[in-house]
Amino acid sequence: MTAERRPPSWLPWMLYWISLGLMLSGSGLRIAFPEEADGGVFDTVAYIPGYALVPLVGALIAAHLPTNPYGWLWCALGFLYGVVTLSDGLDQAGLVPAWIAWLLDGVGFAVILCLLVLVLLLFPTGRPPGAVWRWPVRAAFVAAGTAIVAVPFAPTFDDDSSPTPWAVGGPAGNVFAGLLLSSIRALFLLILLAAVSVLLRFRRAGPVERQQLKWFLFAAGLASVSLVVNQVSVPVSARVWAVVDAAGFALLPTAVAIAVLRYRLYEIDRIVSRTVSYGLLSAGLISLYLVVVALLRPLLEPLTGSSSLAVAASTLAVAAAFNPARRRLQAAVDRRFDRARYDAARAVDAFAARLRDQVDIDQVTAGLRDTVAATVAPTRVGVWLTVPSRQGGG
């Protein structure tokens, strides 16, 4: 694409501000007119930053890479999130007929699913992984188009919604409802298939693209973990999980922006290493705390009359085990997830150990070059030595 045919630089930011305005308007209406079935005011507020990141990421990528379609996908995704949010807010406030909200939600949901397929398939280059992956793109467009056509004529699936004036009943209505459900299911299956394409792309990727995919997979993995844990009965308040879910949702657009714009790409191995190590450390220390409390409580409670001594002893045991466990666990995790840093640290330690006993300047210089090459991996290495000047005679 030539420079004359590039989209204007103001277009992505105009789309961002329009999308943000739609989201804030819809969220404001949902807060002003809450419903019992709704997640509540707190949930609505918690998710605003994550949803606002979607059009922001699109604007950043489209402004920096205007010829890459990937940023425009996120712009469109953010705009649709804004439309659906505003539609829900208008419906809750009773400012529009219920069938308009049903129509906008149905069409918007189908298009959002289609865009999610493209977001996965085209990451990070803006192109599918190969020619064979073009058919899921076409299938996503066909499924979304079928759903869009079926929404105005299909009956609603719950009592809270109202069908459009063009909805038909009887066998014809069942046909349209079946088309709508089948299209939505097909889009979900295509999303799973697109997720598989990311893993296959990772196997064939070069160094830079592999780092980009690591950022994407890291964010997707953390978001998936939060969703899975949220389904398990844990003694945590609903508000805490609302914040965790919202943060997990916000991770994905953040990781996409870092990956596509290539900002601090090569820190992902260190971030993954720290995340895994501190996650395992927290799980281990919590388990140790619970085990010590369970063992000491029946022994000390008959003597003290309370469990406070067992709790205090468990806390001291966890505090004493923290640093030794962290060091050992961090070393083990670095060997697997941050191998470059682990190997570099070992090379530096080995050179420092040799330097204590080495006196030959040529061997010291050779060892220094080998260590720098192993740790920093420069294209060229040179060592300059200054010869001490002789002052005075003799």
pLDDT at 393: 47
DSSP 387: P
pLDDT at 394: 42
DSSP 267: G
d(CA 84, CA 224): 23
Within 13 Å and on the Cβ side, how many CA atoms surround 131? 0
Choice between 241 and 383, residue whose per-residue pLDDT is larger = 241
Lowest mean pLDDT among 103-107, 217-221, 261-265: 261-265
Kindly tell me if the per-residue pLDDT of 304 is higher than 70: no
The per-residue DSSP string of 65-89 comes to -TT-HHHHHHHHHHHHHHHHHHHHH
Residue 297 is encoded by which pair of tokens? Answer: 């409580």
Of 172, 144, 37, 25, nearest in space to 86 by CA: 25
Query: What dihedral angle (degrees, nearest 10) is formed by the CA atoms of 348, 349, 355, 357?
Result: -160
pLDDT at 224: 76
pLDDT at 67: 87
Contact status, residue 61 vs residue 50, Cβ threshold 8 Å: no
Q: What is the mean pLDDT of the chain?
A: 79
Kindly tell me if the per-residue pLDDT of 110 is higher than 90: yes
Going from the C-alpha of 214 to that of each of 150, 220, 305, the distances in angstroms are: 38, 10, 53
CATH number for 3-277 (one of 1.10.3470, 1.20.1070, 3.40.50, 2.60.40): it is: 1.20.1070
126 sits in the region (left: phi over 0; alpha: psi -120 to 50; else beta) called left
Find all residues with CB under 8 Å of 276, minimum gap 6, and list them: 333, 337
Kindly tell me if the per-residue pLDDT of 295 is higher than 80: no
* Helix, strand or coil, per DSSP, at residue 293: helix
Residue that the structure tokens 């922001």 belong to: 56
Q: What is the CA radius of gyration of the chain?
A: 29
Contact status, residue 53 vs residue 2, Cβ threshold 8 Å: no
Residue 165 is encoded by which pair of tokens? Answer: 């004036």
Choice between 361 and 132, residue whose per-residue pLDDT is larger = 132
d(CA 261, CA 60): 8
d(CA 272, CA 266): 11
pLDDT at 79: 95
Choice between 26 and 333, residue whose per-residue pLDDT is larger = 26
pTM of the model: 0.72
Residue that the structure tokens 């592999």 belong to: 210
Contact status, residue 269 vs residue 340, Cβ threshold 8 Å: yes
The domain segmentation of the chain, as residue ranges, is 3-277, 289-335, 342-375
Kindly tell me if the per-residue pLDDT of 170 is higher than 50: yes
Kindly tell me if the per-residue pLDDT of 356 is higher than 80: no
